[in-house]
Every structure is written in C-alpha cells, then in structure tokens.
Amino acid sequence: MKKMNYINNLIVILIVLLTEISNSIGDHRFGYNRPDQRRWSKKHNHCAGKMQSPIALSTSRAIPIPMPAIEFVGYHNLLPAPLKLVNNGHTVILHIPRLTDTEIEMGEFLPFIYGGKLEGHYEIESLHFHWGDKNNRGAEHLINDIRYAMEMHIVHRNKKYASLGEALEYSDGVAVLGFFYALDENEGEQLHQIVKNLNKIPNPEDFTLLNSTFALSSLFANIDDNRFYTYRGSLTTPPCSEAVTWVLFPDPIPISTSQISKFRHLHSSLEGSVLVDNFRSVQPIGNRRIFLRKINIKNTPNTLIDNDIHYSKWDWLY
C-alpha cells in the first residue's frame, strides 16, 4: 500500500514537471494558420491590442507630410563578425553581435538610424524575413492591395534603452525598417550573402556563422529610400509588443525564383512541415495615422511648406 502511494506521488510529480516543460516550450512556439493566429492573444494579451501590425498601407489613406529622410549611419561599414544566421523555426534571423567595451572605447559603433518621425537614434539588433509558399503572398504589410512575395525587417533598438527586452516596454523603444521583394528574372545580388547560407540551416535551431561579413546597405542597394510610409504599431509575432515605429519603403528589391525557393525549402518547428507563409494577417488600423514622406519639397513654393504643420507636430493618432 505504501509503495502504491509512493508511485502515485511520483506520477503526480512527473505530470507537473512535464506540463511545466511543455508550457515553457509553448511560450516560444506559435503557428501561422488562422486559428493559431487567433490563439496568440491567449498567452500574449498585447496581440489583441489596438495598435497591432502588420496593416494594409495605401497612398489614399496615408497623410503626405514633408519630413526628413531616414539617415543610415554606418550602413556602408562592414558588420562586425562573426554574423550568426539562425533558423528559429519561425523565420531566418541574422543576429548582429554587440560590441565589446574595448571596441566601443576604440571608437567603433554599430550601424544606427535617425530621421523621419523618429525621435532619437536607433541601433541595429537583427534582421529577419517573412515569405510565402506562392509568389502572390509572403509579405506582412500590404501596399495599395499588393502583397509582395517577401518582406525583410531590420530591427533597431532606441539607444536610450540598454536592451531590446527593455525597449519593448516603451512605445518609442523599437524602430523596424521594412523592405519588400518582388519576383524578378534576375538574381537579386542584395540577398546573395543570406541565400548562399540557407542550405546550412535546414532545420529549427540550426545556425551557421557566416564566413564573411557585409555592409547592411548592400541589402537594399539601388532602391529609392527617399519615399517611405511610417506609423506606430507592434511586433508581428508574439508577444506583439506595441513598441514599434514602422518605416516601410515601397520600392521593391528584386528576388529570383531560385533564391526564394531556398527560403521555401527550410523546415519549421511544426513536425515535418516546411517553413512558408510565416506572415501575420493584417490588423485593424483603428485611429492611427499613417504618414507618407512627401518629397519634391524643392519644387513646392515656400508658402505651401510654411502652411504645412511641422512634421513633429503631427500626432500618431487621430
């Protein structure tokens, strides 16, 4: 009888332990099919917030305002090595190593951005991609009803916060630059450094250290970075933190069929399935304003510019 109790207790302890383990795994796992996406908010209540991303952008809904271009500082410098490319089961992510104190003392710095309606300087953290199973889907943001085949997010942390985790607690914590890819008969040279390493990370948790480094600007060479949309939103994956100022460049980057097929052959964390269609459905815009940078200021009479409210005076909400 005593032995029976002992075994029962042991079973109870085992069940409790297994539940805890599966819960802790569950926090990092999420699916992209419609019912799965609806479940995100059960564990991450921000996912049901009113300032979620992605959204459908359109020229007609955006407010054109004159504002400064985005300044890319250090984007032409080679990134610090070693760069780590990871298949995390949801996407391919390139981690940019933080600098050591000695490197900072020697005057080195990581690429950062400022300008647009951003207040302050935002330093590079990482970049990743969203893509589809077919060419007519993959990007997260829609632009004038077009859903491109792929979207790249370059994630930056407001320098006034010490870590990305801390920055995600504040509405001005993070700036994400979004770029779109359109199928093209030619190879997009821009993606070469990433694509040539994808066959080394076929499965979730696989990673590779790139044996060469490159400059971030090479990822979006030849596109027009003068024109962009900007709005306040969230991370597009759990925990969906509403900490992101989005800056989206509508001029697409070319990608060939053979390049995108290398993304489509990666495996996701769901048993045996391929990693495709890792994009979130569009979210309600609500009372948010979407701004579009107005260019050709040179050709606009000064009187008109003076009548425009200064870009910094425009609030993000109606």
Residues marked as catalytic? 90
Beta carbon nearer to Zn ion, 67 or 230: 230
Query: Binding string, 234-273, against Zn ion, x = CB under 5 A?
Result: ----------------------------------------
Beta carbon nearer to Zn ion, 153 or 157: 153
Residue nearest to Zn ion (CB): 153
Using CB under 5 A as the binding rule, whether residue 153 contacts Zn ion is answered as yes
Chain centroid, CA 189 distance in Å: 21
Beta carbons within 8 Å of 48's beta carbon, 6+ residues apart: 41
Least gap, CB of 61 to Zn ion (angstroms): 22
Question: CA–CA separation, 231 vs 285, rounded Å?
Answer: 10
Within 29-58, the residues that bind Zn ion by CB under 5 A are none
Question: CA–CA separation, 113 vs 159, rounded Å?
Answer: 10
**Nearest partner of 56 among 128, 138, 140, 151, judged by Cα:** 140
Least gap, CB of 128 to Zn ion (angstroms): 6
Least gap, CB of 306 to Zn ion (angstroms): 39
Beta carbon nearer to Zn ion, 67 or 125: 125
Chain centroid, CA 3 distance in Å: 55
Judged by CB under 5 A, the number of residues near Zn ion is 1
Beta carbon nearer to Zn ion, 54 or 74: 54
Using CB under 5 A as the binding rule, whether residue 280 contacts Zn ion is answered as no
Beta carbon nearer to Zn ion, 117 or 153: 153
Of 71-79, 153-161, 179-187, 310-318, the segment contacting Zn ion by CB under 5 A is: 153-161
Chain centroid, CA 57 distance in Å: 16
Of 41-49, 102-110, 150-158, 205-213, the segment contacting Zn ion by CB under 5 A is: 150-158
Using CB under 5 A as the binding rule, whether residue 141 contacts Zn ion is answered as no
Question: CA–CA separation, 101 vs 112, rounded Å?
Answer: 18
Q: Tell me how far CA of residue 104 lies from CA of 77, 79, 100, 112, in angstroms.
A: 15, 14, 6, 14
- 49-52 contacts, C-beta under 8 A, 24 or more apart: 49/234, 49/240, 49/242, 50/284, 50/286, 50/287, 51/232, 51/233, 51/234, 51/242, 51/286, 51/288, 52/233, 52/234, 52/240, 52/242, 52/283, 52/284
Binding site for Zn ion (CB under 5 A): 153
